[in-house]
Amino acid sequence: MAEGGSDEFSGRLGLIFATIGAAIGTGNIWRFPRMVGANGGGSFLVPWLIFLFIWSVPLIIAEFALGKRSRTGTVGTFRIFAGKNFAWMGLWTAWISTAIGFYYAVVTGWCLNYFQTAVRGGLGSEVDTTEVWNSFLESPSDVIFFQAIAVVITMAAIWRGAKAIEKVNVILMVSLFVLLFSALFLAFVMDLNDGTLDGFVYMFSIQPEYLMEPETWISGLSQSAWSCSAGMGMAITYSVYMRKDEDTTLNAATMCLANNSISIIAGLTVMMAVFAVVDDPLSAVGAGSSAITFLVLPEVFAQAPGGPVVQVVMVTVFFLALSFAALTSMISTVELCVRNFVDHGVDRSQAVGFTSVAIFLFGLPSAALWIKMDTATGVAFPQFLEVQDHIWGYGLMFSGLFIAYSIWKYGWSRYRHWQSENDIEGFSLRDYLDNGVSSFRDDFINTGDNDWWIGKWWDYIMYLGFPIMFSVLMGSYFIDLLVNVDDPWNPSNPNGISIILLFWGITASLFIGMNRYVLVNRMVPTSSDSGPWPLYILSGDFELEPRPLYRNVPEGAEAPIDTLPGGEDDFIVQVGDALPSSFTDDYGETRAHTLATLEAELA
Partner 1 sequence: MTTSRLSSERAKGQGTTVLAMLLPLLLSVLAPASVIAPVAAQESESGLAPQDIWSDEYSFQIFPWGGDSRVQFREYHDYFTMKQRMQNLADQNSEIMTFHDGMNGGMNARGEETNRGTYQGWHYNHDSPWMKITADVNGGDCNPFVGDCGNYEDRPDVMLAGNFHAREWMSYEVPMLFLETIAYYYGMAGVDNDGDGLIDEDGWDGIDNDGDCLMLNASYQDSNGDGNPCGPGDLGVDEDFSEQFITDMVNTREMYLIPMLNVDGNRYDREVYCGPTAWENCPTSGWRKNLRDNTVTGVTPIPDVDEEPDPSCDGVDLNRNFQYEWGAPLGATGPLFPGMCYAGDAGANNDVYNGPVDTVDQDGDNRLNEDHVDGNDDDADGLIDEDWLGGNSEPETKLIQDMTEMNDDDNDGFSDFKATLSWHSFSELVLWPWGHCTGCYSPDDEFLVYHGVKMGEMTDYAPMQSSDLYPTTGDFCDWHYGVHNSYCYTMEIGTAFHQHPDDIAHIAVRNLGVPFYMVEMADDPRYRAIVGIENTTVSQWLQEPSEVKVGNGDIPISLCLDESFPYSTDINMTHLMWRLVQPNRQQNDFGPTEWIDVPWKMSAFSTPSEGQETQCLLLDGSNGTVLYSEIPLPDTSVGKIQYKAMLGTTNGAFPFTYPTLEGGNYYELAIPYRASFGSSVLSLMMFIVIASFVWGGLGLTLRAMFDDEGGVIGLPDDYDLEDS
Q: Is 393 in the site for partner 1 (CB under 8 A)?
A: yes
Under rule CB under 8 A, residue 329 binds partner 1:
no
206 near partner 1, rule: CB under 8 A:
yes
For residue 40, the minimal CB distance to partner 1 (Å) is 7
Number of residues that bind partner 1 (CB under 8 A): 84
Q: Select 117 or 263, whichever has its Cβ closest to partner 1.
A: 263
Residue type, 451: D
**Contacting residue, 128, 194, 480, 555, with partner 1 by CB under 8 A:** 480
Radius of gyration of the chain (CA): 25
Q: How far is the CB of 46 from partner 1 (least distance, A)?
A: 9
Least Å from the CB of residue 103 to partner 1: 8
Tell me whether residue 90 or residue 436 sits nearer to partner 1 (CB atom). Answer: 436
Positions in 488-517 near partner 1 (CB under 8 A): 495
- Tell me how far, at minimum, the Cβ of 135 lies from partner 1, in Å: 18
How many CA atoms lie less than 13 Å away from 184 in the CB half-sphere? 16
Rounded Cα–Cα distance for residues 472 and 485 (Å): 19
Interface with partner 1 in residues 145-184 (CB under 8 A) = none
Q: Which is nearer to partner 1, 375 or 527 (CB)?
A: 375
Choice from 231, 345, 382, 395 touching partner 1 (CB under 8 A): 382
* Separation between Cα atoms, residue 417 and residue 432, nearest integer Å: 11
- Cβ–Cβ < 8 Å for 202, 374: no
Partners of 545 in beta bridges? 522
Nearest to 217 by CA among 526, 549, 476, 495: 476
Scan residues 443-462 and list those touching partner 1 (CB under 8 A). 443, 446-448, 450-455
Cα(223)–Cα(32) distance, rounded to whole angstroms? 7
Long-range contacts of 344-349 (CB under 8 A, 24+ apart): 344/75, 344/76, 344/547, 344/548, 344/549, 344/550, 345/548, 345/550, 345/595, 345/599, 345/602, 347/2, 348/1, 348/2, 348/159, 348/161, 349/2, 349/159
Q: Is 101 in the site for partner 1 (CB under 8 A)?
A: no
Helix orientation angle between 307-343 and 74-81, rounded to the nearest 10 degrees:
50
User: Which segments of 344-378 does DSSP mark as H helices, in order?
Assistant: 348-368
Residue 40 found at the interface with partner 1 (CB under 8 A): yes
The answer to whether 374 contacts partner 1 (rule: CB under 8 A) is: yes
- Structural element, H or E, at residue 521: strand 521-525
Cα–Cα distances in angstroms (integers) from residue 452 to residues 56, 228, 248, 252, 466, in the given order = 16, 20, 9, 10, 21
CB atoms within 10 A of CB 559: 14
Q: Does 429 bind partner 1 (CB under 8 A)?
A: no
Under the criterion CB under 8 A, does residue 32 sit at the interface with partner 1? Answer: no
Q: Which of 290, 303, 349, 493 binds partner 1 (CB under 8 A)?
A: 290
Restricting to residues 107-126, name those near partner 1 by CB under 8 A.
107
* Residue 216 Cβ vs partner 1, minimum distance, rounded to whole Å: 8
User: Does 327 help bind partner 1 (rule: CB under 8 A)?
Assistant: no
Scanning residues 238 to 267, which ones bind partner 1 (CB under 8 A)? 247, 250-251, 253-254, 257-258, 260-261, 264
**Is residue 555 a contact point for partner 1 (CB under 8 A)?**
no
Burial class (CB in 10 A: 0-12, 13-18, 19+), 1: middle
Distance (Å, rounded) from C-alpha 384 to C-alpha 368? 8
Note whether 130 binds partner 1 by CB under 8 A: no
User: Do 43 and 520 touch, CB atoms closer than 8 A?
Assistant: no
Of the pair 5, 365, the CB lying nearest partner 1 is at 365
Question: Kind and range of the H or E element at 551?
Answer: strand 549-551
Among the listed residues 170, 189, 197, 358, the single contact to partner 1 using CB under 8 A: 197
Nearer to partner 1, 360 or 458 (CB): 458
Q: CA angle at residue 109 from 107 to 115, to 5 degrees?
A: 110
From the list 164-172, 478-486, 557-565, 593-601, the region that binds partner 1 by CB under 8 A is: 478-486
CB of 265 to partner 1, least distance (A): 10
| Nearest CB to partner 1, comparing residues 227 and 399 | 227
Smallest separation (angstroms) from partner 1 to the CB of 382: 6
417 binds partner 1 (CB under 8 A): no
Contact residue for partner 1 among 29, 31, 270, 595 (CB under 8 A): 31
User: Using the rule CB under 8 A, which residue among 343, 389, 459, 569 binds partner 1?
Assistant: 389
DSSP code for 589 = -
One of 70, 154, 328, 383 touching partner 1 (CB under 8 A): 383
**Rounded least distance, CB 10 to partner 1, Å:** 15
Q: Rounded to whole angstroms, what are the CA distances from 285 to 74, 304, 348?
A: 37, 17, 43
